[in-house]
Amino acid sequence: MAVSRDEVFAKVRDVLSDALGVDQEEVSLEATLQGDLGAESIDFLDIVFRLEKAFSIKIPKGELFPDEMLNNPEYVEGDRITPAGLEKLKQALPHADLTKLEAKPFVSKMPDLFTVRTIINYVESKLAA
Amino acid sequence: MRWIWIDTFVDFVSGRRASALKNVTLAEEYLHDHMPGHPVFPPTLMLEGMAQTAGILVGEARGFAENVILAKIRRAEINDYAFPGDQIRYDAVLDSLDDRAGVTSGTMHKNGKVVGRADMIFSHVRPGESSELPPHNFVFTEQFMRLLAAFRPRAATGSTDAG
Amino acid sequence: MRFELIDRIVELASGERIVAVKAVSNAEEYLADHFAAFPVLPGVFMLETLVESGAWLVREAQDFANTVILLREAKNVVFKSFVRPGNLLRVEVACRRLAQGESDFEGVGYCNRDEVVKARFGLRHFCLADRDALLSSADSRLAAEARARLADLRRHPPAARE
């Protein structure tokens, strides 16, 4: 059964609104989970759990939010993401738009990758698989 | 005031679910503050009873290898309150578990009737993970372990387990 | 242990916002169990500090009309950091809705300007007499005590109670 992009957006909006305690109107496509919607690290786990339930998909650890990367010295040096790290992110997150991060490859900018649009792209790719 | 908000387990299926009771008694001194002349069991302590029931369920499922710390109350509702002489039962279910966290849902009952719910997420913090933390497990103390030992946990038996 | 989590109210904008402080001390006996090796304010007590702050806002705004104010629901409660003996937990609670019998709040707790807890929560309020008309004198007593206590909490430094 095909799920339309609008239906995916509606369900993702419900998930984020419930998990983060924000009004539906705030959940716009370009809103960042952390910066705009106030997500804490535990909220990312809550979001993964809710998405799995809402879409009946299985999200392996690190597939949507690659938190383990930050501990790897090959990918992160001090406050910067290395070229190897950017490459790894491109492979790991085909659903994310890395242009801004490539321009300013700071660890502190990584959370901005995770917008509502990123989540929708990810869910659609899982549903299509 | 001791910090133990459950009195006994009445059900425990390892990795699946657990139920624990809490009796509310006037012998608990703080009840005389909450409130003077009209003791009501504080709702946040109902949440703690649920957290202790669910937290032990989470910890036992991983052999108490990590400190299990309440990280988020996703949602909780309390629709009725408890008074001295009442018995509260916390029913916790383990929804998801991995090396980073455990997700639980649960219902609270008073004298057999549903009075609330609480869904929680617990973080796993390895002993000695940071220098500010003790090098051993500081959460699962003697008094919790005794409660669990008194009710021997059954291992989950997979598809044959009706629970 | 006394079940009063607020030590001081530093700001109160009637019906809108309240800022309060809970001081954490080794003298609080339950800390010996939470935890013996690592005493920290229990997460539910961080929530209780937020809840009690909201309750004081309701009492002041409704002129102590409702004598029993209890937690009805809590959502998106995130415990970010530990609060330890010697720390001061400062909570800032904003009222989103205040009706006769219910209210909703958003609150954040800070320790040295770091966020340690965030929550959205709702309270339920009523009088004992709503359930049993014979209890209206108990309501009067509770209201008078609450009024005196609020005055103490807002007075800096706190006066000794009789």
Mean pLDDT of chain C: 94
The catalytic residues of B are 34
List residues of C whose CB lies inside 8 A of any B CB: 1-4, 29-38, 42-45, 47-48, 51, 67-68, 70-79, 82, 119, 128, 135, 138, 141-142, 145
More confident residue, C32 or A70: C32
Its pTM stands at 0.93
Instruction: Give dist(CA C117, CA C44) in Å, integer.
Output: 10
pLDDT of residue A1: 53
Tell me if residue C34 is catalytic.
yes
The yes or no reply on domain C8-154 and CATH 3.30.70.60 is no
Q: Domains in chain A, ordered, with CATH?
A: 1-61+114-129 (1.10.1200.10), 66-111 (no CATH)
Across-strand partners of A81? A76
Dist CA C50 CA B46 (whole Å): 16
Domain ranges, ordered by start, for chain C: 8-154
Residue identified by tokens 């006394």 is C2
Q: What is the pLDDT of residue C22?
A: 97
Position A19 scores a pLDDT of 97
Q: How confident is the model at residue A89, as a pLDDT?
A: 87
pLDDT in tens, C77-95: 999 999 999 999 999 999 9
Inter-chain CB proximity A19 and C80 less than 8 Å: no
Chain-centroid distance, C-alpha B162:
23
Check if the beta carbon of residue B97 is closer than 8 Å to that of residue B61: yes
Architecture of the domain defined by B8-154: Roll (3.10)
Is the CB of B100 less than 8 angstroms away from the CB of A61? yes
